Each structure stands twice: as C-alpha cells, then as structure tokens.
Amino acid sequence: MSTNCLEIRNLHATIAANGTPILNGLDLTLPKGEVHAIMGPNGSGKSTLAKILAGHKAYEVTDGEVLLDGNNLFDMEIDERARAGLFLAFQYPLEIPGVSNANFLRAALSARLPEGEEIDAVSFYKQLRAKMSLLDMDTKFTGRAVNEGFSGGEKKRNEILQMMLLEPTYAVLDETDSGLDIDALKIVARGVNAMRTPERGILLITHYQRLLNYIQPDHVHVLANGRIVRSGDRTLALELEEKGYDWIREADEAAAAAAGA
C-alpha cells in the first residue's frame, strides 16, 4: 500500500436518488509529483468522479475504495478530506455572498492550524497579494465576496488562487478550462504550473486538449462508460483532438463483446 499517491480502486458509483450507475470499475493511481489528465465525452463520469472524491452527497459509492496516502478517503468527512490534503476546483464555482475572499481564505488556512495557533495577518496578506499578482488579479478582489459578480474567467482564477494559498497534496481540477478565452487559459495554466512540485499530484479533468498545450501532463487517461478505457502520454490527447472519442468507444465495446463471447 503506497503512502505517496491518490489511489482509486475498482470504483463503482450511482446517482443516490435513483440508482443510475455512473462509474463502473474505475481504476487510477495519481502519484505525488505527477500531473494526470482525464479526458472523455459528455456523460462519461468525469465530473462525477471529482464530486465523489470531494464527498458530494448526490452520489453513492457501491463498490471499490479510494486511498489518500494509504488512508481510506471514504472514512473521512468532507472537511477532513480537505485537511488531509485534497482540493477540488469546481467546474461551476459557487458564489458565497457576504464572505470576502480574504476572510474565506484566512478561515480556510486557520482551520488547518493546531488549536490555539493563529495566522500572522501581515505574512498572510503578503502571500495573498503575491499569488494574486501571478494570476493577474487586482487586489480589490480581496474585499469582494467569494465569486459574487465575478466573470467566468475571474471565478476560475479565484479557484486557482484558493489552491495556491491552501497548497494541497492532491488537486483535482474539474474542467477549469471551460469557458475561458485564450488569455485567461494561459493565466490559469501559469498558476497550475507554479504548483507543480514533487510533493503534489494534480488531476486535470477536461474535454479538450488545448489546456494540455499549456499544462503538460505526465499521463493522459480516457474515461468512457464510467471507467478508464485507454491511457497514454500527451500524444493520446492529440489523437483524441484529431479523431474524437468514437473510435475509443467502439474499440472498448468490441473488446467487451469479445471478452463476453
């Protein structure tokens, strides 16, 4: 059992409300120090996987396990997963009216400190402004409510800002590139690349390989019918860009039919 990876083993999951299967035996290992990309068509289970890792109650895990540095992720409450080093950047970031960005981030960082310890305000704001500068964010955003009135690109940059301040061990970015123009995409990629270290694993979930022009993944996986059906290096993403997903699905269905024959 490895203590240096996020390991997903034979994960099956359904929609809790009606039992519709979404994930069907998904296996994936994300070691520290690597960037992995998951690609796949709509409805393949990409965002479901991200939400299940974060603890979303709309989904029920029916089989399999997820180990976070050797510990069972499903034994942890949502806040415990975050404190253990898991971070999720949402595809559609939520607005939190009445809570400023600065207060939100400071509270999140304070929650990780031992009881009785406090964050030094001067060093916190110095670090916050440095990260915002890297993401071309105006300092006025520190006083604005979290994501309230933000454009799509501003929300995505704010998600990356949160990741940079919280410094998770494993970051799951759920279609962070969706809705971004090329300039915003480059800025987001700059922030993600700044977080690449031997102590951190990053999982990119995306439809399109254009994000991978700016964030070079170590491995690319194709998710279809709720499981990983193909893995490779970045050239796999280029092949998907050229051919689409149908050839992958057809090959997977043919292999399944041959196995059942």
Convert the pLDDT of each residue in 37-46 to its tens digit: 999 888 889 9
Rounded to 10 degrees, the C-alpha dihedral 148/190/237/206 comes to -10
Average pLDDT over residues 105-109: 92
pTM exceeds 0.85, yes or no: yes
pLDDT at 105 over 90: yes
| Segment 54-61 long-range contacts (CB within 8 Å, at least 24 positions apart) | 54/78, 54/81, 54/86, 54/88, 54/172, 55/81, 57/16, 58/15, 58/16, 58/17, 59/13, 59/14, 59/15, 59/16, 59/22, 60/13, 60/14, 60/15, 60/16, 60/19, 61/11, 61/12, 61/13
81-103: average pLDDT: 93
- Residue 261 in this model has a pLDDT that exceeds 60: no
What rounded mean pLDDT belongs to the chain?
A: 91
Check: CB of residue 56 under 8 Å from CB of residue 141.
no
Using one digit for the tens of pLDDT, what is the confidence trace for 207-260?
888 899 999 999 999 998 899 999 999 999 999 888 888 877 777 676 666 666
Which has more confidence, 117 or 155? 155
Look at residue 41 in the predicted model and tell me its pLDDT. 85
In this prediction, residues 144-164 reach a mean pLDDT of 94
236's enclosing H/E stretch is helix 234-243
> What would the pLDDT profile of 15-41 be if each residue is shown by its tens digit?
999 999 999 999 999 999 999 999 988
Q: Is 152 exposed, middle or buried (0-12, 13-18, 19+ CB in 10 A)?
A: middle
User: Rounded to whole angstroms, how far apart are CA atoms 99 and 116?
Assistant: 23
Amino acid at 61: V
Half-sphere exposure of 12 (CA within 13 A, CB side): 8
Q: Which domains does the chain have, with CATH numbers?
A: 5-260 (3.40.50.300)
Give residue-wise pLDDT tens across range 52-79: 999 999 999 999 999 999 999 999 999 9
Cα distances from 168 to residues 6, 52, 195, in angstroms, run 12, 17, 9
Q: What percent of the chain has pLDDT over 70?
A: 95
H/E stretch holding 223 = strand 219-224
Reduced to 3 states (helix: H, G, I; strand: E, B; else coil), residue 243 is helix
Find where tokens 């039919």 sit. Answer: 257
